[in-house]
Amino acid sequence: MLKRITGIVSLLVLIANAGNGQNNSAPRFSLNIPAGYTFDETSYFDGGKMTTKGAFQYGGALEFFSSRTSSVELSYQRMDTEFPLYGATGNQVNSSDFDGSLSYVLIGGNKYIQKSGSKTMTFIGGGVGAGIMNYRGNSDANFGFNVKGGVKVATQGSVALKLQAYLQSMTCPGGTDYWVSGGGTVVAVPDRFWIFQFGLGAVLCFDFKGK
């Protein structure tokens, strides 16, 4: 598997450099391969709490540039993790079979700041879209978003490296609330809670530039 990934990355580097050479114009689009580590996070809801265990995160993105310093980005991120659940007394209620995953499909943008003559650009960005939680064979898609920031370091060719910190979040189902109407009717309403996750990572960028 590692050899296959290495081969794909090497091929992309050759294609990007063959098409662009020493072209210093603004990129038209960029193929990005992000990877990072997302840390533990505990979310609280009625009657208990859930921990999202820290895990390696990976994905891919296409970034389209309207100028050298502004872009629109479509991204996919995934992490395979564990979701231990705890009751109100602190006891773990799913002592086995708590594997799952979180995925984000987002559209957003990035803003770069570059000093004249420098190969390093600071950037901030973010996106909104779908946050998908998979647990025990069930998939639940809800609202998700992220914000991020860091630096992008260019090379003489068309390959660049981003170093970034990110915060990502999605809503998840968390049991049921019961409401009693004025006529005495009991109504069940699905309860939801937020997962907030912080991570650090790097992005390998293949910039395809205009003529």
Helix (H) / strand (E) containing 4: helix 2-20
Give me the percent of the chain exceeding a pLDDT of 70.
78
Compute the mean pLDDT over every residue in the chain, rounded to the nearest whole number.
81
Q: How far is CA 102 from CA 31, 41, 46, 126, 136, in A?
A: 22, 13, 22, 18, 12
Edge-first strand listing for the sheet containing 85-87: 41-45, 48-52, 85-87
Residues whose CB falls within 8 Å of the CB of residue 89, separated by 6 or more in sequence, listed in order: none
Read off the amino acid at residue 67: S
What backbone torsions phi and psi does residue 88 show, to the nearest 5 degrees? -65, -25
Closest residue by Cα to residue 109 from 143, 153, 159, 75: 75
- Look at 211 and 4; give whichever has higher pLDDT: 211
Give me the percent of the chain exceeding a pLDDT of 90.
48
Q: pLDDT tens, 146-205?
A: 999 999 998 777 899 999 999 999 988 765 554 555 565 555 555 678 899 999 999 999
Q: What average pLDDT does range 49-64 have in this prediction?
A: 94
Please say whether the beta carbons of 70 and 111 come within 8 A: yes
Q: Could you tell me which residues are beta bridge partners of residue 76?
A: 60, 105
> Domains along the chain?
2-209 (2.40.160.20)
